[in-house]
Amino acid sequence: MIFAISDLHLGFASGKNMDKFGQNWVNHHEKIKKNWISKINENDTVLLCGDISWAMRAESVWPDLEFIDNLPGKKIIISGNHDYYFSQINKIKNAFETISFLIKNHFVVENKIICGSRGWVCPGSSEFAEKDNKIYLRELQRLKASLDSCRDFEDRDIYIMLHFPPTNENKENSGFIDIFKDYKIKKVIYGHLHGNDYFSAGLQGFRDNIEYILTSCDFLDFDPILIS
């Protein structure tokens, strides 16, 4: 089976916790661990859609990734906007037995093709500034590179991992949506949105035959969601 969750925001090395964001975040890593162990086994795969750690560098992310590595199942991780250690990913990408990183590549899991990129703030968003356009266009290219890394789809369903939602808060069309349609994507899994005031800013459910699934920790009550 394939599960997903995002925005773990672990801070074992940094000492940073999420308590200030609400009572539900107190000891949130223990909630994740309990829920994870209750439903996921060694043959399952978990898609982790970014913001895994507060660590700034490869050496300081180690305890957070060890926590994930010691949980059951295989894991695929993409970068979020807080995953600064990704700039040194070559130092750690082969260091953990059950963890793989999605960076302009793809994985085949249970006959599903897993592709993706970090994504970014989309045009039309209240947060979109001129400086964001370059990053936005780069993330579109990274998503296409991930999809194009698999030349033989063999009629298998394609799942996309993003960190950012693929639209602005008005849910208008974007370059990401255009790519999803071109490649006939089946599911899009993303995170980044936190709090009841923001959950509704992302697409959820079906649109144009594509299923959109929000997997932020607090949205899922720290419980990985079954997606396949």
Q: What is the pLDDT of residue 25?
A: 86
What are the tens digits of pLDDT across the range 139-176? 999 999 999 998 777 778 999 999 999 999 999 999 99
Q: List Cα–Cα distances, 207 to 78, 176, 203, 212, in angstroms.
A: 24, 13, 8, 8
What are the tens digits of pLDDT across the range 173-193? 999 999 999 999 999 999 999
Neighbour tally for 110: CB within 10 Å: 13
Give the distance from CA 214 to its chain's centroid.
9
> Is-above-0.85 flag for pTM?
yes
